[in-house]
């Protein structure tokens, strides 16, 4: 008798995994892999996509402990997961993503975002858009505070006619809206 069959079990990677990991690292982020798979399989997978820190054989409790250790060290953690055992860690991360219909229902319920497509690059795109949004919010708050700190007292003192103060307030509001509208442009990733 000889071999009747031979099986090779291998983890499929998303086509953009290595590119996304590199883009996140280029933004100064640390990328970690926590997996319930065997430690050697997790390390091999991590090496294929350029992740330096890989931990295999993780239970949901191990993942949660690892996440909390990072948070206790002052790190903000973005978690990506799609398995049933990722639910607790997705719920505890600062920001979390589950990927579409193939993600376990618990992972989808606990994640902050559900990416409907299969592309990992949405993580980087969402982070880039969030940073741009925060920048615009800060600009708008600074503009509104500056305008109000300068023009309201001048108008109250009677040194600025009411119609001009009203016009200035309307133009200030238009400037804030126009600044925020820049976020609607497609991301240049």
Distance CA 21, CA 12 (A): 16
Tokens of 143: 């503009």
Q: Which one has a higher pLDDT value, 101 or 174?
A: 174
Contact 23, 54 (CB under 8 A): no
CB atoms under 10 Å from CB of 40, counted, come to 11
Instruction: Specify which residues 79 forms β-bridges with.
Output: 96
Q: How confident is the model at residue 5 (pLDDT cuts 50, 70, 90)?
A: low
Contact 116, 134 (CB under 8 A): no
Q: What is the pLDDT of residue 116?
A: 86
Q: How many helices (H) and strands (E) does the chain have?
A: 7, 5
| Model confidence, pTM | 0.76
């Amino acid at each position: 008798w000889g071999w009747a069959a031979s099986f090779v079990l291998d983890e499929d990677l998303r086509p953009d995994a290595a590119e996304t990991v590199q883009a996140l690292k280029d933004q100064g982020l640390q990328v970690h892999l926590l997996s319930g798979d065997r430690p050697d399989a997790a390390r091999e997978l991590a090496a294929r996509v350029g992740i330096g820190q890989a931990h295999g054989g993780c239970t949901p409790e191990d993942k949660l402990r690892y996440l909390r250790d990072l948070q206790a060290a002052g790190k903000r953690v973005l978690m990506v997961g799609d398995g049933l055992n990722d639910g607790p860690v997705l719920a505890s991360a600062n920001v979390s993503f589950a990927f579409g219909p193939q993600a376990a229902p618990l992972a989808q319920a606990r994640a902050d975002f559900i990416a409907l497509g299969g592309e990992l690059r949405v993580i980087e795109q969402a982070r880039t858009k969030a940073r741009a949004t925060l920048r615009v919010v800060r600009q708008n708050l600074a503009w509104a505070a500056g305008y109000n700190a300068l023009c309201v007292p001048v108008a109250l003192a009677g040194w600025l006619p009411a119609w001009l103060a009203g016009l200035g307030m309307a133009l200030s509001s238009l400037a804030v809206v126009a600044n925020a509208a820049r976020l609607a442009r497609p991301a240049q990733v």
